[in-house]
Amino acid sequence: MRRTRILAACFAAAVSSAPPVRADEVPLPPTVQPEASIVEIYRDEELFFEGPVWAPASGKLFFTAFGKDNQQILRLERPGTAAVWLDHTQGVNGMFLSREGKILGAQAYGHRVMRYAVGPDGPVEEEVLAENPAWNQPNDVCQSPSGDLYFTDPDFKERKNSAVYHLPAKGVAPRSGAFAPRGGASAPRKIISDMPLPNGVIASNDGRTLYVSDSHLKLWRAYPVRGDGSVGPGRTFFNPDTPDRADPDGMTIDERGNLYLTGRGGVWAVSAAGEAIGFIPMPRFCSNVTFGGPQGRMLFMTCKGAVYSLAMRVRGGDPRYW
């Protein structure tokens, strides 16, 4: 287990109207535990890790792993050791803990949104919540406080047919493994089509805002959520003027409503007002991030070849961790 010391600098994070921001000029977020260090908890240079999710019932971290010929969901048993929890996932990428404690997964190559009941040795139940062979490759998924699901479907090849979809909570009713609307619910509907490459997605703690990262424009957008779960016109939420243009990817949120955004050089901590409150420099490209651990005060970060943790002063935005 290797520790990489994080050094805080002495200048505040600059916004897009200021001169370009150097990573070493941006302090750690005040939400990080004093004297905390990034801890490498798992490494495999042959794999690309994504979709971290903490399952409180099992007290374990789950994350996805992309290899040359296979995709898996791994469960961290202890630092340095992980077990294969699900093999041959057909490209499950971003994951999210559902309101009932199950794991939601965006299945890229199967063109589905999945739900897995957590068992000790693997899923005890697998459900297809939505499926469409015409989708590009579902990439990330989240659930809002209302229970509605949102997922991204980026068009990585041409950047012409990307979209974000909404699946109402009353429509999440699997039957024989397929999406089966109940009570007049409709199939997933396209609600965002003005982003070249939507990637990560998460809802605010009050469910009134949907945040989406764009891996082509290298920025993050925010959309107001309407009463029916659709969204209004979006706006640029965060776009730091940095020389580092690493793709924005997954994100998470804390109990105060601060966002933790992967991309542009590391993990940016940003207030609900879109102002940078700090930056977590990463030793390699960071794909996604989530809260978990005891009382939800640990930040887990998946990267190319490794997974890291960082002790926090705040909990995750999900009240089940409080």
Average of pLDDT values for 18-43?
Answer: 84
Query: Nearest-CA neighbor of 295 among 252, 251, 254?
Result: 254
Phi-psi region of 296 (alpha: psi -120 to 50; beta: other; left: phi over 0): left
- What is the pLDDT at residue 319? 76
User: 312: which residues sit within 8 A by CB, 6+ positions away?
Assistant: 31, 32, 33, 36, 254, 291, 297, 298, 299
Rounded distance, CA 260 to CA 272, Å?
11
Average of pLDDT values for 169-173?
Answer: 66
Average pLDDT of the chain, as a whole number: 89
Give the dihedral sign, CA 262/267/269/270.
negative
CB 257 within 8 A of CB 272: yes
Rounded distance, CA 96 to CA 105, Å?
7
**pLDDT class of 318 with cuts at 50, 70, 90:** confident
Rounded distance, CA 188 to CA 9, Å?
45
By mean pLDDT, which of 75-89, 162-176, 229-243, 255-269 is the weakest? 162-176
CB 112 within 8 A of CB 64: no
Q: Please report where in the chains the tokens 């290298």 appear, as a residue.
A: 218
Rounded distance, CA 246 to CA 266, Å?
8
Q: Is the predicted pLDDT of residue 6 greater than 90, yes or no?
A: no
Gyration radius of the chain's alpha carbons: 18
Percentage of the chain modeled with pLDDT above 90 = 83
By mean pLDDT, which of 21-25, 145-149, 208-212 is the weakest? 21-25
Question: Which CA distances in Å does 315 have to 50, 63, 252, 256, 308?
Answer: 21, 19, 11, 8, 17
Average of pLDDT values for 255-279?
Answer: 96
- What is the pLDDT at residue 24? 61
Top-tier CATH class for 3-321: mainly beta
Chain-centroid distance of CA 313 in Å reads 20
Q: Is the predicted pLDDT of residue 83 greater than 90, yes or no?
A: yes
- What is the pLDDT at residue 20? 60
Average of pLDDT values for 250-268?
Answer: 97
- What is the pLDDT at residue 181? 39
Number of other CB atoms surrounding residue 309 within 10 Å: 22
Query: Nearest-CA neighbor of 286 among 322, 251, 239?
Result: 251
Give the dihedral sign, CA 123/128/129/134.
positive
**pLDDT class of 174 with cuts at 50, 70, 90:** very low
Average of pLDDT values for 261-281?
Answer: 96
Average of pLDDT values for 103-124?
Answer: 97
- What is the pLDDT at residue 117? 97
Q: Is the predicted pLDDT of residue 177 greater than 50, yes or no?
A: no
Rounded distance, CA 269 to CA 285, Å?
16
